[in-house]
């Protein structure tokens, strides 16, 4: 039997709106994933530390503040410094298409905009995880 996928949902920066993050966390949990929600106002350092300590497979960043070009690469760099380049960093928020492309070139996974169905995110994470499991086998 495949173990549950472990996902850390985080709200980096000063953005105080977390309804979307909570909806995503609940949907992932309902889909059988183990979900850790870190709460509001997390620094990239706090997020990376929690991800390492919790041994997660995925970090989901919810960013509405416009600071995604700073926050996403910083979380990615911190996780990689700990030798965990096997963690998928994905997320969502209000992100311009050119920023999404730039972040993905740096190694960030797929990013989702407002109104994306949670089923799309669930499918993406499950497919990524299954592919990673095959590579490790």
Q: What is the CATH number of the domain that holds 29?
A: 3.40.50.280
- Which domain range does residue 55 map to? 6-136
| Predicted TM-score of the model (pTM) | 0.96
* Residue 9 pLDDT greater than 70, yes or no: yes
pLDDT at 1: 58
Q: In this predicted model, what pLDDT tens digit does every residue of 115-133 receive, in sequence order?
A: 999 999 999 999 999 999 9
Q: In this predicted model, what pLDDT tens digit does every residue of 53-79 receive, in sequence order?
A: 999 999 999 998 889 999 999 999 999
Q: Is there a domain that residue 96 lies in?
A: yes
Q: In this predicted model, what pLDDT tens digit does every residue of 26-52 receive, in sequence order?
A: 999 999 999 999 999 999 999 999 999
Q: Is there a domain that residue 1 lies in?
A: no
DSSP secondary structure string for all residues of the chain:
-PPPPEEEEE-BTT----HHHHHHHHHHHHTT-EEEE--SSB-HHHHHHHHHHHT-SEEEEEE-SS-HHHHHHHHHHHHHHTT-TTSEEEEEES--HHHHHHHHHTT---EE-TT--HHHHHHHHHHHHHHHHHHH-
Name the domain count of the chain. 1
């Amino acid at each position: 039997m495949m173990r549950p996928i472990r996902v850390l949902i985080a709200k980096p920066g000063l953005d105080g709106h977390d309804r979307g993050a909570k909806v995503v966390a609940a949907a992932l949990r309902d889909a059988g994933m183990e979900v850790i929600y870190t709460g509001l106002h997390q620094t990239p350092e706090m997020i990376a530390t929690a991800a390492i300590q919790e041994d997660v497979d995925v970090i989901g960043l919810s960013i509405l503040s416009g600071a995604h070009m700073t926050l996403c690469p910083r979380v990615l760099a911190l996780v990689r410094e700990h030798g965990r380049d096997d963690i998928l960093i994905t997320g969502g928020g209000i992100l311009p298409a050119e920023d999404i492309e730039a972040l993905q070139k740096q190694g960030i996974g797929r990013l989702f905009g407002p109104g994306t169905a949670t089923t799309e995110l669930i499918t993406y994470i499950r497919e990524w995880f299954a592919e990673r499991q095959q590579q490790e086998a």
